[in-house]
Amino acid sequence: MADLKAEEYKTFEGIKHSRGDGTEFWYARELAPVLDYAKWENFSNLKPVIIFLRSGK
């Protein structure tokens, strides 16, 4: 997230959720408008990206 501006970072942090084990996640319905998606259902196209991010590479 180093390329994000301070305001963008705050937006992502503001909708971030954490599990008991410390892992962080975002709900698609909350993240969609931040990424300018009209519908959260359009996130199905992001599955390869999510897999990549989970890999930690």
Amino acid 25: pLDDT: 85
- Token pair 């990549």 is at which residue? 52
Amino acid 10: pLDDT: 81
Average pLDDT, the chain: 75
Amino acid 50: pLDDT: 62
- Choice between 12 and 45, residue whose per-residue pLDDT is larger: 12
Tokens of 45: 């196209």
Scanning 1-57, the segments in alpha helix (DSSP H) are 6-14, 28-34, 47-55
Choose the most confident range, by mean pLDDT, from 1-5, 29-33, 49-53: 29-33
**How far apart are the C-alpha atoms of 15 and 26, rounded to whole Å?**
7
Give me the mean pLDDT over the 10-36 stretch.
Answer: 85
Cα–Cα separations (whole angstroms), residue 44 to 19, 21, 51, 56: 23, 26, 12, 20
**How far apart are the C-alpha atoms of 40 and 49, rounded to whole Å?**
15
